[in-house]
Amino acid sequence: MPYYTYIIKSKKTNRYYIGSSCDVDKRLQQHNWSRTPSTKSGVPWELVYTEMFENKTDAIKREYEIKKKKSRKYIDFLISSVS
């Protein structure tokens, strides 16, 4: 089963959130239904970027790699590279 690293953007706060999941659509619904405390204040969220991996471990590694950069510029670059 493939796993994904994803980036969502808050339409309310203009902030990004990086996560990983095997079902990105379901996960996005959870974010938008305020089921995740860290994203509750940013509802509504929209999916702006995904990367697919063969396993959960690789998806989580990539999630942390993006988060570690702490760079909005890098996230904007990733998003623009698929547009």
Give me the residue spans of the domains in the chain. Answer: 3-82
pLDDT of residue 56: 98
Contacts of 66 (CB under 8 A, 6+ apart): 5, 7, 18, 74, 75, 78
What is the CATH number assigned to the segment(s) 3-82?
3.40.1440.10
pLDDT of residue 61: 98
Is it the case that residue 26 has pLDDT exceeding 70? yes
pLDDT of residue 83: 67
Is it the case that residue 29 has pLDDT exceeding 70? yes
The per-residue pLDDT for range 47-70, each reduced to its tens digit, is 999 999 999 999 999 999 999 999
